[in-house]
Chains A and B, each alone.
Chain A
């Protein structure tokens, strides 16, 4: 049981390049999330999904797109990378049971945009 995995672990991009970050979970969770973490700041929600084929915007969605074609995968895309998108990106998943449900996080992807 791998939990939540993220690919790649590290990436360096030039300004204007594009890339896709992949998140996979093997817990059959309905909900998936993408966060970014910047120095001195907490994690901020970029986009989230409440089920296969659905996505919604979080707190900081600009410059990112997402897709959830399969229940176990949640992709985060950067169409034209900017230095302001240098960050550590975390994916999480959860299963909505009751009023509170724990979010399980992946190990993160460190992205540098030069």
Chain B
């Protein structure tokens, strides 16, 4: 039972354009949603988060939107740069003794010059 899903395994975007990565979830008890970025042979690094009580959070070129009624979130990267090429994981947080993260399958983003 996949509680967090990223239905696009890959996405290719031209440099300078907007990249939009999508994520769907099923559990309405999640309290935070996060995006992690992962380069090959490295561990994931935290990018941006959003509380379940918000609908938008912005940090520089990165904006995360949350639509609770649709159980959907998206990450917008504007403008896209070659260094943004990586695998992006959506994750959702549950506080049960400790903060537990449930990850989506990941989307490989390629930025073309």
How many A-B residue pairs lie within 8 Å, measured between CB atoms? Answer: 66
Surface stretch bound by A, among B37-45, B64-72, B76-84:
B37-45
Main secondary structure of the interface of B (DSSP, over half): strand
Min CB distance B88 to A, Å, is 11
Interface string of B79-113 (1 = CB under 8 A from A): 00000000001010101011111111110000000
**B49:A100 contact, CB within 8 angstroms:** yes
One of A43, A50, A102, A107 near B42 (C-beta < 8 A): A107
In the bound assembly, the distance between CA atoms of A48 and B94 in angstroms comes to 14
Q: What count of chain A residues pass the 8 Å CB interface test?
A: 28
Interface membership of B51, Cβ < 8 A: yes
One of B42, B43, B93, B104 near A100 (C-beta < 8 A): B93
- Tell me which residues across on chain B come within 8 A of A59, comparing CB atoms: 102
Residue of B nearest to A40 (CB): B105
- Tell me which residues across on chain B come within 8 A of A42, comparing CB atoms: 4, 6, 89, 91, 102-106
Interface membership of A112, Cβ < 8 A: no
**A100:B45 contact, CB within 8 angstroms:** no
**A105:B98 contact, CB within 8 angstroms:** no
Min CB distance B48 to A, Å, is 10
Interface string of B12-51 (1 = CB under 8 A from A): 0000000000000000000110001000011111100101
Interface membership of A58, Cβ < 8 A: yes
- Tell me which residues across on chain A come within 8 A of B44, comparing CB atoms: 43, 90, 105
